[in-house]
Structure 1
Amino acid sequence: MKIISVVGARPNFMKVAPLHRAFEASGKIESKIVHTGQHYDAKMSDIFFNQLGLPQPHYHLGVGGGSHTYQKANVMLKFEEVLLKEQPDLVLVVGDVNATTATTLVAVKMGIPVAHVEAGLRSGDRKMPEEVNRVVTDAICQYHFITEHSGLVNLARENTLSKGVHFVGNVMIDSLVYFREKAAEGTTLSELGLAAKSYLLTTMHRPHNVDNPEGLKDIVSILQRCASRLPVVFPMHPRTRNNLTKYGLMDQVLAIENLHLLEPQGYLQFLQLMDNARLIVTDSGGIQEETTYLQVPCLTFRDTTERPITVELGTNILMADLNPDTVMEEVDNILEGRAKTGVIPPFWDGHAAERICGILLGELEGNH
Structure 2
Amino acid sequence: MKRKLCAVTGTRSEYGLLVPLLKAVEREPDFTLQLTATGAHLSPEFGLTYREIEQDGFQIDRKIETLLSSDTPVGIAKSIGLGVIGFAEAFDQLRPDLLLLLGDRYEILAAAQAALVMKIPIAHIGGGDTTLGAFDEAIRHSVTKMAHLHFVTNGESARRVRQLGENPRHIYNVGSLGIDRILSLPHLSREELERSLGFSFRSRNLLVTFHPVTLDREPSGKQFQELLAALDALGEEYGLIFTGPNADPQSRELTRLTREFAAEHPNAAVFSSLGQTRYFSLIRETDAVVGNSSSGIYEAPSFRKPAVNVGDRQQGRLFASSVISCAPQKTEILKAIRRALETDCSKAVNPYGAGDSAEKILSVLKSIPDYRALLKKQFDPIRSDDK
TM range (shorter): 0.7 to 0.9
Q: Which moved more, 1:78-87 or 1:253-262?
A: 253-262
CA distance in 2, matches of 1:119, 1:231: 35
CA distance in 2, matches of 1:68, 1:33: 23
Distance 1:213 1:202, change over 3 A: closer
Distance 1:238 1:108, change over 3 A: closer
Q: Name the structure 1 match of 2:225.
A: 217
1:103: how far off?
1.2
Map Cα deviations across residues 175-222 of structure 1 (whole Å, 9 max, x no partner). 22111x254598223542327x83122122324599555334313211
SS of the residue corresponding to residue 8 of structure 2 reads: strand
Over the residues paired in the alignment, what is the CA RMSD in angstroms?
Answer: 3.0
Distance 1:220 1:129, change over 3 A: same
Q: Which amino acid aligns with 1:353?
A: A
Distance 1:86 1:220, change over 3 A: closer
1:352 aligns with one of 357, 374, 381: 357
Map Cα deviations across residues 246-282 of structure 1 (whole Å, 9 max, x no partner). 67x9655532353334443222221211111111111
SS of the residue corresponding to residue 231 of structure 1 reads: strand
1:187 aligns with one of 189, 192, 196: 192
Q: For the Cα contact (< 8 Å) 1:142–1:162, is it kept in 2?
A: no
Alignment of 1:1-368 (within 5 A): 1-42=3-44, 43=47, 45-50=49-54, 53-65=56-68, 66=70, 67-123=75-131, 125=132, 128-161=134-167, 164-179=170-185, 181-184=186-189, 187-190=192-195, 191-194=198-201, 198-207=204-213, 214-228=222-236, 230-237=238-245, 242-243=252-253, 253-303=262-312, 305=314, 308-309=317-318, 311=319, 313-319=320-326, 321-337=327-343, 342-345=348-351, 347-349=353-355, 351-364=356-369
SS of the residue corresponding to residue 2 of structure 1 reads: strand
Q: Name the structure 1 match of 2:384.
A: none
CA distance in 2, matches of 1:6, 1:289: 21
Q: For the Cα contact (< 8 Å) 1:143–1:163, is it kept in 2?
A: no
1:168: how far off?
0.9
CA distance in 2, matches of 1:157, 1:136: 13
Q: For the Cα contact (< 8 Å) 2:227–2:333, is it kept in 1?
A: no
Distance 1:236 1:105, change over 3 A: closer
Q: For the Cα contact (< 8 Å) 2:179–2:353, is it kept in 1?
A: no
Q: For the Cα contact (< 8 Å) 2:121–2:372, is it kept in 1?
A: no
Distance 1:287 1:106, change over 3 A: same
Q: Which amino acid aligns with 1:82?
A: A
For structure 1, list consecutive stretches of 5 or more residues without a partner in the other structure. Answer: none
Q: For the Cα contact (< 8 Å) 1:93–1:114, is it kept in 2?
A: yes
CA distance in 2, matches of 1:149, 1:113: 24
1:5: how far off?
0.7
Q: Which amino acid aligns with 2:276?
A: Y
Q: How many residues align?
A: 358
CA distance in 2, matches of 1:225, 1:292: 26
For structure 2, list consecutive stretches of 5 or more residues without a partner in the other structure. Answer: 374-387
1:92: how far off?
0.8
Q: Which moved more, 1:233-242 or 1:129-138?
A: 233-242
Q: Which amino acid aligns with 2:15?
A: F
Q: Which amino acid aligns with 1:363?
A: I
Distance 1:116 1:244, change over 3 A: closer
Taking only the aligned residue pairs, the percentage that are identical comes to: 18
TM-score, normalization: structure 2?
A: 0.82
Map Cα deviations across residues 286-333 of structure 1 (whole Å, 9 max, x no partner). 332110111110001132536632x2x3421222x2211112122222
CA distance in 2, matches of 1:238, 1:168: 26
Distance 1:72 1:364, change over 3 A: farther
